[in-house]
Structure 1
């Protein structure tokens, strides 16, 4: 019998293909949003940004998704926490790995109501909805209310919030927990990178060269 890989399930593969194709329009969509808002966004208003960019996918890359799948398969976490559902591309990779591990669940967070609703529809279409809980609202609030500790963390929401979100989760991170952040090339992620790359903060961190780079940090 061939090994199971839920990423190859026709429902999952079709959904990922469709979303990656839509994401190819992100640059044009983002340009239209910028032109409509020449004044930019309020510096501390993530909800405003989330609502304005509700059409933008901002996905991980296909290779980044497969890397996440492999990491979750290897780590076999009981609880995967994701900051930044968007339309659910990364979430599907995480949940596919959880399905194939035969144990675990995914808790994901999303600030945009429209994106959360679209993601939930996709999770139902792919048959992975039983493994995924989407928490709507500011992750700094929703994740603070989650009782169980995270055993694997993906930080792929607003980059300036990655460090605050990590600090919320940090008290429950056991030694060996992997924390992955996407887009290391983005300037807003710099404070987070400085933090996890400082050995004094309790992480061993390495940059994985996939697309815009993923920072993989192990809690020591």
Structure 2
């Protein structure tokens, strides 16, 4: 049995992607493109961007990226996964489905906006995967600062792009050799890309698919 393509997960994902495609944010449309770019790059204003302007948008991974996450987690035998940026839980479903098919494990995922976290928890229950997931609510710089697994197999970065380097700092010491890090919308985090591509970074990294950076921990 493959959890990803079976009921209830497959029809649930189809429905959630449809809902994501119709969501809108009047607050965001009232902000100029220049201001959006400033907020996206701001280390001090990301709470406004994600807590106010983007709180009604799903911001999911694409279906192709979701399948990539599932494939990476399955092929690496991942049992311990950390996700930065739950949103409404679509990517969490892909990751937890892989854990189920790997025989079990734990996904720690964190979401800044409480209502998104509440909805995501409901979707995970509907998928029959909630028992594999610990959903932490709040700023990831606090929620991922403690109580982490001794060894992490896979990381998804898909929250505030400006925080990618700092979130990686919280997790890096626990990444096992060969651990995979997938950063969605990585082009919006130039500091993260510069770090991953630098000589002596400790990672082998390459762009993969559309705006995804895939990296492997070397040591």
Same fold (TM over 0.5): yes
Tell me the residue number matched to 2:104.
103
Whether the 8 Å CA contact 1:72–1:152 is kept in 2: the answer is: yes
The within-5 A match list for 1:107-146 is 107-146=108-147
Q: Which runs of 5+ in 1 are unaligned?
A: none
Residues of 2 paired with 1:57 and 1:10: CA distance? Answer: 22
Whether the 8 Å CA contact 2:161–2:186 is kept in 1: the answer is: no
Tell me the residue number matched to 1:90.
91
Whether the 8 Å CA contact 1:11–1:125 is kept in 2: the answer is: yes
How many residue pairs are counted as aligned between the two chains? 210
Match 1:24 to one of 12, 15, 21: 21
Tell me the residue number matched to 1:13.
10
Tell me the residue number matched to 1:157.
159
Q: Which runs of 5+ in 2 are unaligned?
A: none
TM-score norm. by structure 2 comes to: 0.90
Backbone CA RMSD of aligned residues = 1.7
| Deviation for aligned residue 1:37 | 4.5
Cα distance change on mapping 1:65 and 1:35 into 2, 3 Å:
closer
Match 2:174 to one of 168, 172, 175: 172
Q: Secondary structure of the residue that 1:167 maps to in structure 2?
A: helix
Moved over 6 A (4+): none
Q: Is 2:70 the counterpart of 1:72? A: no
Can you list the C-alpha shifts for 1:82-111, whole angstroms capped at 9, x where unaligned?
A: 000000111100000000010311110000
Q: Is 2:75 the counterpart of 1:81? A: no
Deviates more, 1:146-155 or 1:37-46: 37-46
